[in-house]
Structures are given as structure tokens and as C-alpha cells.
Chains A and B, each alone.
Chain A
Amino acid sequence: MSQLSSPFEKYELAGAFDEMFDSSGTVRPHYAPLFEMLQDSPASELKRAKQESDLIFLNQGITFTVYGKEEGTERIFPHDLLPRIVTRKEWQHVEAGLTQRITALNLFLQDIYHGGRILNDGVVPRELVYTCKYFRRQMRGLKVPKGVYIAVTGTDLIRDLDGNFTVLEDNLRVPSGVSYMLTGRQVMKRIFPKVFRQSGVLPIEGYPQALLQSLNALAPEGRDEPNIVLLTPGVFNSAYFEHTFLARQMGIELVEGRDLIVHDNIVYMRTTSGLTRVDVIYRRIDDDFIDPLAFRHDSILGVPGLFNAYRAGNVTLANAIGTGIADDKALYAYVPKIIKYYLGQDAILPNVETHILAEEGPRQYVLDNLEKMVVKAVGESGGYGMLIGPHASKAEIEEFRLKILADPRNYIGQPTLMLSRAPCFVDGEFDSRHVDLRPYILYGDKITIVPGGLTRVALRKGSLVVNSSQGGGSKDTWVVDES
């Protein structure tokens, strides 16, 4: 391995695709302005920049909540100083791939809640769909405006050893993190204005407006100037900052379940000047909790009667109820087939090889190789319910083995992936950390993706878990125009 020049002497390059350097240790051209700036800046200056950026996050209250810890549960979101940079050409490929994927997944949702063609044709096994806990039979036959089920998606992408973008998972229920993408950008503009200007970064400021337009497009028919609200579970939710941020940026009301009432299948919002009709609800509450009459009876976050108003077509929920079926991790394995089935195309962005443990052959293979595999519970998110074979102890592996045997439908196995690495500024030095990329896909009249996304970083050295609740952080993502 060749020696990297200062200040990257200690930087580890081997074993994964690196975002900044090619395998010979040469800086990739689109990283050149950043690299030059880092070479010219003394460490003390970067440390000061890091403190400044942390302070901005703290003062703005950009924090999240970690569940399951007694003290100090509100933390600032760890934001790495160095941006992750993607070229416009790479981005166009990602954009085309995501557009294709989301179009197909939306058609899939429409299909399984109506005729179920894809099930009749045997492309996706029927029992896989019907045993998924996110399949909502209440949605059968229900027409949603413009046939759009997934107004907002966050799809997690990783790069394999050769640098190809690969889909790790889709988040079709209530994906979060977009506020960190937007605020992270504001902070970076303050900290590294010069490099920013030189690099030609494509703007992402239009996201709130694009989201609002998508929500507008999905309003019930005949409601020309729809009243749109954002439904939050409340101040104790880990993403509450994001809810307030988006509501503010879109200029819409932020409401909790208790602020809404349903009368004659019409949803109203309590305001200081009486009741106002609500047409579109951008909900950040899971299906289970949204209406205690239709789903979980013990939910106090939801709005009684909301589902009936929804069925009657008097209000739009974004995302629709029941979208979780399409991001079930076992169903994920079928997405390339789903794309082929509805669009007649091959998937532009490949999947990670996935073993469905409900099937006997793959199950045996995974159980035999547990120490090399990653096993995930199909319906979990946020990095919970996951086994990373190479990093787990013997006892943990055995415990997981029993769990898999008890309920094989609930798990999938994947090979342990080497996520690509990018330089991070950690404790005053540059070091490499694994990263992924979550772009946000909006679907209203058409599909819109702002150029960028949230790059999540596994801040512990060598770790592959990027989730914020598990010691992950974020980076600003720059899509640069190299011309």
C-alpha cells in the first residue's frame, strides 16, 4: 500500500472502497478542492471549526433522543466535519435507479391491495405477503389519490468493494433524517464556504417546497387548496426536532393526535378560532398507532375515527397505511423481480444478496455460516434486532440461532458487507469510517429526488452500524457538478 501524504499518514485504505482515494492512494478528482483545503489547514483550525459546528447544532436544538438509557437521553446529532462527495454522473445513475425502484414498489402496493396479480402469477409468494405484520387487510380495495402510496421514501444505499451503489433497504413507512440533511448543509456552508463555492455543489434547499408540492398533489379530489398538517407523536419522539423543522420549513401546522377530531368522517383541527378542516396529513406516526378504533386500541397518539375518514376519501394520509409490507426485509429479496414484473426492466441499482430464512435451503446455509453473516429481523428498523456475525460473541450467535429457529419468517440473512469508507475528522485526526447514503424520494404528481441525502457514518472504528441510535453520525452529502 502506498503512503498517503500529510495529513492523512495514518489513514487506513485497505479492505473497502474509499470515497476519497482510489486504491493507489490518489485523491479522486471531485475530492481535490477539499483535499487541498485540508492540506493547508492546521489541525487546530479544524478543531475550532468542529467546535463551531457542534455549537451551531446545540444552539439550534438539533438533537435526537436515544431510547433505553436513563440519563442524558437528548444528544446533539454527531455531525462529521468533512462532507461526503458524489459526482453528478454517479448521482444520475442513483436517481434513475431510485425512480425505477419506487415506481415499481408503488405499483406493487397498488396491486396487492387490489387484484393481487403478482400473487396470482406466483412472482411473489402469497404467504410472504399475508404473514407480514405490516400487511393491512383494511386497505384492500381502498383507492388512494393518484394511486400513490409512498409520498416519501428514504432508501439506504451502500457501495460495494468496486464502488457500485447497491440498495441495502427501503424505508417506506415514516423515514426520518431529512432535517439533518438540510441543517447539516446550512452548517457546512458556514464552516467551509470556500471549498463549497469551488466544488460547485448542487442545491438541496428546495426539499421542503418539493415535499409540500407532493403532498398538495395527493389531496382528495375537489379540495383545491388543501389544508396540510404534519402529525407528530409529540415532544418525546426521537425525531421531534425534525417534525418541527419540516412543519416550519413548509409553513404548515404541526399537530398531535389530540389536536385532531373526526366528525362525520371529516377530519378537523382545533385552532384558537374554531375547527378547520384538514385535507392531507403528513403523518410521522406508525400505522399501529394512528387510529385506536382501527388498529391498536391502546394508542393514545392517534385520532379515533381517522381511518374511517380515510376510507371515505375525505382525507389523505402520506404515506398511505400499509406501505410497510413493501419494505419488509424478506420481501426486499423480491424487489428485482417486482421491477421486472411491472416495468419489464432490469433493476438499475442491484440488491444485496439475501437469504430468506423461511425457506429451508437458505436457512440451513445461513445457520451453518452465522459467524460470517448479518441477520436482520424483517420488520425492525433503526439497527435494532440485528446480528452482525463477525462482530458478535459466541453467546450472541447461539442466542440468535434459537431465535431464528423459533420464527424463521421473521429473519433474513445477508453476507457481511464492507460498506465504503470516507474520511472523518475524529479526535483531531483523519481516519476512515464506514458510510452509507440515504437519499429521499418524493412522489406526488411525479417523482422528485433532491441531489444529495443523508450520509450516515458508523463513528466507532470498524463498526458497520450507521444508525443514529447505535452510535452513528452523519455527514453532509455533496453532489458536485464536475464540469
Chain B
Amino acid sequence: MSDHDHDHESSAALSNRVKTLVAQLEQRDLLTEAKLDATVETFLLKATPANGGRVVARAWVDAAFKQRLLDDASAAVAEIGIDMSHWAPVKLRAVENTDREHNVIVCTLCSCYPIALLGPSPAWYKSAEYRSRTVREPRAVLAEFGVALPPDVRINVWDSTSELRYIVVPRRPQASEGLSEAELAALVTRDGLVGTALL
């Protein structure tokens, strides 16, 4: 099939293309079906927003950890057993929301995203609308997510790259004083970690 005689390939056609690719790679001993399945399975089990939640909850209860997280996020998340770097050298930076500043992450060039901490990215993160507009009119984009910030809160937009990715440390919810670290972690949402939701 020519590459140019269609606007959009069907999912069945794409599925066949992937099958062909896998068969060719198997023939050359570059991968096996079993290894492929194991990779998908491990990834889906390990890469979830619960990881981001653990990082943020630790930062909320442990000021020294929070400082280390803000200074060198890659090292800080490694401390609690999250490996960001095992398949590509990726540096992580954590940015903290306060009563004066709100942070939101985007990738205008592709859709770079700290997948180990947040799981697979949602469709909107990869959309042309989000990628184009977040850097130009973040307040309007946040409003579309139902996030209304006071006009005096500064919005910082962080544009990710393949080498440097961001995670937002949301503000700790009010009236969460009595909660355990695990309970706090459960309050952290994926969108909160991207900056498109408040907790």
C-alpha cells in the first residue's frame, strides 16, 4: 500500500503493519513475542499516577524530601524506588504550586510526559489544541478544564522535551492534616500532577 493514498489508516490496517514489523524483528532476533507481552504488562502495572501520588504525598509530609525533590527530582524519586531512566536518559524536574504561583506542563514539540510517574498520557495532552494554546493562553486553557485561578496567581507553563520532563507538586488540600501519607497519596490525581486540576 502506498503511504500517500489515504488520509487515515484504519486500526485493522495499522494492526497488520505492527504484526508485519514484529515478525520481521523476530526473524532478526531483535525481539520476541514473549518479551513484547512482558514489556507491555510490566509497563501497565508499573507506570501509573499512583507513583506521582507517592512522590507528592512524601513531599507534603517531609519538608527535607520536598527540598530534595525541588533541587533534583530525578534523584529524589529514585529514593522512593521509582526509576525514570531505565530506557532513555530523562531528567525530571518538580515544580511546586503555591498560593502565588500555579504550574502547568505541556509538550509543544511532541508529547513528552513523565510516563513512569503518571501512566500513559491522556488524548488531550497529545492534542494540537492543548499543545498550541497552553503556552499562549494558559488561563483560558485551564478554564476549559474547570480550573479558575485568582487573577493575581502567576501561571508558569513548562514546555517538556525528550530530555527534561516536569511534574507539578500540587498544593496540599485543606483539612488533610490528620491523613496518613498513603491517604494523602490517594488524593493526588493525574491532572493535578500535570497542573490541569486543583486538589
- Whether chain B is bound by chain A comes out as no
Interface residues of B (CB under 8 A from A): none
Interface residues of A (CB under 8 A from B): none
